[in-house]
Amino acid sequence: MSGPSDHWQTYHRRWSGLEAPLRPNSEIRARIVDLVGSGSDRVLLLGVTPELALSFENVVAVDKSAAMIANIWPGDGAKRRAIQADWLELDGSLGRFTAAIGDGSGNVLSHPGEIRQLLLTVREHLEPGGRFVCRLYARPEKPWSWQELLDEAAGRATVNFHAFKWKIAMRIAADGGAAVPVTRIHEQFERHFPDREKLAAVTGWDRSVIDMIDTYRGSSAVYCFPTRAEFLDCLPSGFRGIGFHPSGTYDLAEDCPIFACEKA
Ligand SMILES: C[S@@+](CC[C@H](N)C(=O)[O-])C[C@H]1O[C@@H](n2cnc3c(N)ncnc32)[C@H](O)[C@@H]1O
């Protein structure tokens, strides 16, 4: 769920400063390619993630943000193009695909309604046997308490700031439901960690990376951080070979599995 004032209009400015878990690294990319398999000749990319766009020969990328397409998309080619559209409003006119892929695409929607709609759209756009492969930020059944997060930030950091930010978001989701307006991530961070200078000094996180959380201030976007079970509850019938697969060894990788299934 998002509107004219969501943060995707400016998010591209931060892109080069992102790292896993927010942005796919080479191990995530390789695992997604592996799970899609070699037989895929027409791939629907949910978003404009360049690492994924460049991993397949024949790609149609769909993203609702003109700014993300203009600044992140590696460019159209003979067999690669980006279309500006909302995933939830696709009408089938793009035809059928042998795979649909994404990186966190199921997390930038509200839960459960928009997730269900996305999964229905994916099913509609896949050929029988087509694979859906998408990394998911999946909240653990028992996420860290606020006290554990405060304790973690009181010493030298053991994970990067983006991973820590997702731990905060997952805590918020555990408190109030999987759908999390991104403004709430910003508010709760400010509330629990008001002194950014001190936070940077103690943890070793770069102040400019911490400040990236301001991207969420005033944004209308809603993210979601479902548990694996909550995500599966949104999956319509008509899929088989359903599973969550490890996505690598980076910070928070254990809570960022790759969801994969196949249209029956
Ligand atoms: C693929 S997602 C996740 C990217 C990254 N892994 C992260 O966690 O920040 C980001 C992209 O989804 C796009 N997006 C979000 N909601 C959308 C929707 N309903 N329809 C089409 N694109 C959407 C945004 O414009 C953005 O380019």
CB 245 within 8 Å of CB 260: yes
- Give the chain's radius of gyration (CA, Å): 18
Amino acid at 226: P
- 2 domain residue, yes or no: no
Average pLDDT over residues 27-48: 94
Ligand 1, pocket-test mutation among 83, 105, 110, most atoms within 8 A of CB: 105
Nearest CA to ligand 1 atom 10: 47
The residue whose CA is least distant from atom 18 of ligand 1 is 86
131 shares its domain with 250: yes
Measured in angstroms, how far is the CA atom of residue 105 from the centroid of ligand 1? Answer: 6
Per-residue pLDDT, 1? 44
- 195 CA distance to ligand 1 middle (Å): 30
pLDDT > 90 fraction of the chain, expressed in percent and rounded: 92
The answer to whether position 209 is within a domain reads yes
Residue 28 and residue 97 in one domain: yes
What angle separates helix 161-176 from helix 182-192, to the nearest 10 degrees? Answer: 110
Q: What is the atom index within ligand 1 of the atom nearest the CA of 63? A: 22
CA-nearest residue for atom 26, ligand 1, is 47
Quick one: three-class SS letters along 168-226?
Answer: HHHHHHHHHCCEEEHHHHHHHHHHHCCCHHHHHHHHCCCHHHHHHHHHHCCCCCEEECC
Alpha carbon 183 to chain centroid, angstroms = 17
Per-residue model confidence (pLDDT) at position 188: 98
What is d(CA 76, CA 59) in angstroms, rounded to the nearest whole number?
A: 9
- 46, 126: one domain: yes
Same domain, 20 and 82: yes
Residues 111 and 191 in one domain: no
pTM above 0.85, yes or no: yes
Closest-CA residue, ligand 1 atom 8, reads 22
- 215 with 231, same domain: the answer is no
Q: Decide if 1 is inside a domain.
A: no
The total domain count for the chain is: 2
Residue 174 identity (one-letter amino acid): A
What is residue 2's predicted lDDT score, i.e. its pLDDT? 42
Q: Pick the more confident residue, 13 or 146.
A: 146
Cα angle at 136 between 157 and 244, to 5 degrees?
Answer: 110
What is the tens place of the pLDDT at every residue in 151-167? 999 999 999 999 999 99
Residue 23 CA, closest ligand 1 atom number: 6
Strands (E), 85-198: 97-103, 126-135, 179-181
pLDDT in tens, 128-187: 999 999 999 999 999 999 999 999 999 999 999 999 999 999 999 999 999 999 999 999
The answer to whether residues 238 and 173 belong to one domain is no
Range of the domain at 48: 8-138+226-263
Q: Residues near ligand 1 with C-beta < 6 Å?
A: 8, 22-23, 47-49, 62-65, 68, 86-88, 102-105, 108
Q: Which helix (H) or strand (E) holds 49?
A: none
Residue 221 has pLDDT above 50, yes or no: yes
Residues 216 and 86 placed together within one structural domain of the fold = no
What is the pLDDT, as a whole number, of residue 78? 94
Determine the Cα–Cα distance for residues 169 and 14; give it in Å rounded to an integer: 19
Instruction: Looking at the CA of residue 118, tell me the nearest atom of ligand 1.
Output: 19
Which residue has better confidence, 13 or 226?
226
Determine if residue 92 is left, alpha or beta; phi over 0 gives left, psi from -120 to 50 gives alpha, anything else beta: left
Lowest mean pLDDT among 5-14, 153-162, 222-231: 5-14
Q: Which of 32, 64, 209 to mutate to test the pocket of ligand 1 (most atoms within 8 A of CB)?
A: 64
Kindly state whether residues 250 and 212 are assigned to the same domain. Answer: no
The whole-number pLDDT of residue 13 equals 79
pLDDT of residue 3: 45
Q: What is the pLDDT of residue 7?
A: 85
Distance 108 CA to ligand 1 centre (A): 6
Res. 98: pLDDT tops 70: yes
- Sequence letter at residue 14: R
- CB-CB neighbours of 16 under 10 Å: 9
